[in-house]
């Protein structure tokens, strides 16, 4: 039997989908036939989305501005969910970090990381799952991190949320299972995207790869695409509440 990921006639919502892992996943989902809606904080969509729309005119592709740290974020979520047919797939990818020694942490900044990385995925899952329940089918993937399993200095807020999303995934799996909704978490390792480059620098990433990652390199966004989309697809029929670590062996070192 030939296995292939197919999102034909399915609507997918991918938060933080304009660049990095989110963009790589979104582009492959479009290639696989899906109607894909991405969110980001910029006022304009990324240029690649228009290019994809030209290539795949029969598919509905959308961009929605959504700042999960804003005061009106939940109202925006409700508006986005209402604007499209029921989503079959939700990928909670948006996230922020603010490196800081916990002794220097400001409450407002700590709370902002919690809101974006932990509270928002829970509410997004709850809202989108209503439509999934009606169609007795759904797939949700929460993007956690290896820093939810282990940690490094100055990441108390970020690690708290990434550990929390693993527990949230397990609990939601129990809530959603009777309605045919499968939810899982993926923990990327260190990926060559804007966030780790900003905090560790290019030299720091390469040093980390040589000293701590058995495969000897940091990941590219493309390394995360297949694991995420498998869990988000109809090929996944019996996996729920689980956490898949995609880190080049970082956590077993």
Over the stretch 223-242, which tens digit does the pLDDT of each residue have? 999 999 999 999 999 999 99
Residue 176 pLDDT > 90 = yes
pLDDT tens digits, one per residue of 187-229: 999 998 887 777 777 888 889 899 999 999 999 999 999 999 9
Tens-digit pLDDT profile for residues 137-165: 999 999 999 999 998 899 999 999 999 99
User: pLDDT exceeding 70 applies to what percent of the chain?
Assistant: 100
In a domain, 170, yes or no: yes
Residue 214 domain-assigned? no
1-10, 19-28, 113-122: the lowest-pLDDT one? 1-10
Q: What is the pLDDT of residue 1?
A: 64
Query: Is the confidence at residue 22, as pLDDT, over 90?
Result: yes
The backbone region for 9, taken as left when phi is positive above 0, alpha when psi lies in -120 to 50, beta otherwise, is: left
Do residues 113 and 158 make contact, with C-beta atoms less than 8 angstroms apart? yes
Q: Does residue 158 form part of some domain?
A: yes
Helix (H, G, I), strand (E, B) or coil at 155: strand
b/e per residue 22-46 (b: at least 16 CB within 10 A): bbbbbbbbbebbbbbbbbbeeeebb
Does 199 reside within a domain?
no
Q: How large is the average pLDDT for residues 18-27? A: 98
Q: Return the CATH number at 18.
A: 3.40.50.720
Q: How far apart are CA 75 and CA 77, in angstroms?
A: 5
Report the Cα–Cα distance between both ends of the chain, in Å, rounded: 36
> 84-117 pLDDT, tens per residue?
999 999 999 999 998 899 999 999 999 999 999 9
With a cut of 90, say whether residue 32 has pLDDT above it: yes
Q: Are the CB atoms for 199 and 97 separated by under 8 Å? A: yes
Position 65 in a domain: yes
The string of pLDDT tens digits covering residues 52-73 is: 999 999 999 999 999 999 999 9
- What is the structure's pLDDT at 219? 95
Domain range holding 101?
11-193+223-244
Q: How many structural domains does the chain have?
A: 1
Is 203 contained in some domain?
no
Q: Does 250 participate in catalysis according to the annotation?
A: no
Q: Classify 99 as helix, strand or coil.
A: coil
- Return the CA Rg of the chain: 17
Residue 95 lies in a domain: yes
Please give the C-alpha separations between residue 76 and each of 42, 71, 182, 237, in angstroms, as whole numbers: 14, 10, 25, 31
- Point out the catalytic residue in the list 137, 158, 238, 250: 158
Report pLDDT for 93: 99
**Residue 249 is assigned to a structural domain of this protein:** no
Give the integer Cα–Cα distance in Å for 144 and 163: 7
């Amino acid at each position: 039997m030939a296995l292939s990921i197919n999102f034909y006639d399915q609507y997918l919502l991918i938060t933080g989908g304009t660049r990095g892992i989110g963009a790589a996943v979104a582009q492959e989902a479009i290639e696989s036939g899906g109607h894909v809606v991405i969110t980001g904080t910029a006022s304009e969509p990324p240029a690649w989305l228009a290019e994809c729309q030209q290539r795949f005119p029969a598919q509905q592709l959308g961009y929605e501005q959504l700042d999960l740290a804003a005061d009106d974020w939940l109202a925006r979520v409700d508006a986005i969910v209402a604007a499209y047919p029921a989503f079959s797939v939700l990928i909670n990818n948006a996230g922020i970090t603010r490196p800081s020694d916990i002794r220097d942490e400001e409450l407002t900044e700590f709370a902002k990381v919690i809101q974006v990385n932990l509270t928002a995925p829970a509410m997004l899952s709850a809202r989108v799952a209503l439509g999934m329940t009606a169609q007795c089918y759904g797939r949700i993937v929460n993007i956690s991190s290896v820093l939810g399993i282990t940690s490094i200095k100055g990441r108390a807020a970020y690690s708290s949320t990434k550990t929390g999303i693993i527990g949230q995934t397990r609990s939601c799996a129990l809530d959603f299972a009777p309605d045919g909704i499968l939810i899982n978490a993926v923990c990327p390792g260190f990926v060559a995207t804007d966030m780790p480059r900003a905090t560790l620098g290019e030299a720091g990433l390469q040093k980390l790869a040589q000293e701590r990652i058995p495969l000897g390199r940091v990941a590219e966004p493309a390394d995360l695409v297949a694991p995420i989309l498998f869990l988000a697809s109809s090929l996944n029929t019996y996996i729920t509440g689980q956490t898949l670590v995609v880190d080049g062996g970082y956590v077993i070192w």
